[in-house]
Chains A and B, each alone.
Chain A
Amino acid sequence: MLLSSKALQISRLRSAGRCLKISGWVLVPTYLVMLAAIYAAFLYAPTERVMGDVQRIFYFHVSAAIVSFAVFIGVFLGGIGYLVTRDRFWDSLAASSVDVGLFLTAIVLTTGPIWSKPAWNVWLKWDDPRVLTELILLVICVAYVILRTAFPEGHRKYAVCAVFGIIGALDVPIIYMSVHWWNTFHPVVITMSEVKLDPMMQQAGLVALSAFLLLALVLLLQRVSIRLHDMITKDILKNLREQE
């Protein structure tokens, strides 16, 4: 038992180290692409004709929104992985994806009002399907965190969180669809769908998107590694207490 738990700890240490190593490799390109994104958004992209400079927040806002959707893939895979293998690495992956999701949805919902107040003179446009979808994503992430804190450590906690993560991830496309239809059903004052982006704006948007993708990846890997280290430390502490 002791030996197998030691072997488990070593394998966990290895995967934690691997995560850290990969995140270290990705870190430098991330910094570079982030700098490029700032350059592209503030200097390279032309100023929008109607909204002016405030439109430049669009590059960060939209990129964070797209990546916040992608994060739920991690939650889904982590959940399924845990239920199938019972390996806590997958649980850490799911929980860390939710952490990154919280961060990204918070960015989207703070940059949104900064843009929408000068542009449309409202802080939050509640009838906008994208605002609503993003808000629901945030709510699901918060619910996941609440669920996680409510359970004592153990297999049941990880299984239950995995199930909630899977259900939440399955919910995302339905939310998107229903909110989209809800929007077509209600009269819309301002719509963005006809807005055509200048090619230079598109390029700046792509750079910002890659910056956010890389940033999310780095954060995710670091979070997973921290969670694994945390797990190992707690295990060692428990063993020491038992020996006493």
Chain B
Amino acid sequence: MRVLGQIWTMAAKDLTLTARSTHSFLTTLFFALLILVIFNFAFQPGVEATRLSLPGILWVALLFPGIIQLNNSFQREQEQGTFQAILLSPVDRGTFFLSKCLSNWIFLICIDMFILLAFTVLFNPRVTLRFLMVVPIILVASAGFTAVGTLFAAMVVSLRAREVVFPVLFFSIIIPIILAAVSATQEILLREQLEYVGKWIQILVAFDVIFLSAGFLVFEYVVVE
């Protein structure tokens, strides 16, 4: 229970900071909207071929803003020197990792919901109860993104080339999540029957569990100087 309290306290601290400086939230959101608008020009709207690539468009739009946020997870700590302070506080390193994951996850989900809304408006998919099934997939997939992204962000935080190195590491590991999420969305948006969605969600959940626990265990080795 105490650990849960610690996780929530630290995550709430991060979320408060983010909420007070709306700058990063709005910029990330604007970036996501721009991607969607560019896709709207790049693919002819209303054409069958565009309809078939809708799942891919949605996930690219969900993914890229996420990278910016995740890559900057520890930027504030790094710049203001609070990293050491947190490491000195009587909190387990793994707990620190989970709290960062939680705050990043909540941030991403908030952005993702706006992106989903913008996607619906711009690309006009058939909005039914079934379309809403995309939401749980976004929730589970973002948890996987955050687990891997938060860990890697801590790894590269001190690097000068982190803007380049982070996406390289991040994308090479999350390919299975993208595959699972896009395939599940394809089925929801384009197919008559939902045969494999459950299986895809299973893969996503397995990914989340494996990488959250791995991150929890190895995080302490990443943050030592």
Contact = CB atoms under 8 A, between A and B. Distances in A.
A182 B175 CA distance: 12
B207 A174 contact: yes
Nearest to A139: B172
B52 to A, nearest CB: 13
Interface in A146-189: 146-147, 150-151, 155-156, 159-160, 162-164, 166-168, 170-171, 174-175, 177-179, 181-182, 184-185
Given A159-B224, A182-B179, A174 B161 contact: no
Given A167-B151, A174-B210, A83 B179 contact: no
Given A146-B165, A151-B159, A170-B211, A162 B175 contact: no
Instruction: Give the size category of A's interface with B.
Output: 20 to 34
Nearest to B173: A171
Nearest to A79: B218
B206 A143 contact: no
B209 to A, nearest CB: 11
A177 B203 contact: yes
A167 B211 contact: yes
A183 to B, nearest CB: 10
Contact of B222 (A143, A150, A159): A159
Nearest to A179: B179
Contacts of B165: 146-147, 150
Given A159-B221, A163-B222, A181 B161 contact: no
A156 B171 CA distance: 22
Contacts of B207: 174
Contacts of A151: 159
Contacts of A163: 151, 155, 218, 221-222
A75 to B, nearest CB: 13
A179 B176 contact: yes
Contacts of B156: 147, 150, 160
A147 B156 CA distance: 9
A226 interface: no
B189 interface: no
A136 interface: yes
B180 A160 contact: no
A170 B212 CA distance: 12
Contacts of A177: 176, 203
A177 B202 CA distance: 11
Contacts of A83: 218, 221
B47 interface: no
Contact of A181 (B159, B173, B200, B225): B200
Contacts of B179: 178-179, 182
B159 A175 contact: no
A99 B211 CA distance: 24
A140 interface: yes
Contacts of A170: 210-211, 214
B183 A182 contact: yes
B3 interface: no
Given A163-B155, A167-B214, A178 B173 contact: no
Interface of A: 83, 136, 139-140, 142-143, 146-147, 150-151, 155-156, 159-160, 162-164, 166-168, 170-171, 174-175, 177-179, 181-182, 184-185
Interface of B: 148, 151-152, 155-156, 158-159, 161, 165, 168-169, 171-173, 175-176, 179-180, 183, 187, 195-196, 199-200, 203, 206-207, 210-211, 214, 218, 221-222, 224-225
Task: Pick the 8 closest A-B CB pairs, nearest first.
Answer: A178-B176, A143-B172, A139-B172, A160-B155, A159-B221, A174-B176, A163-B218, A140-B172
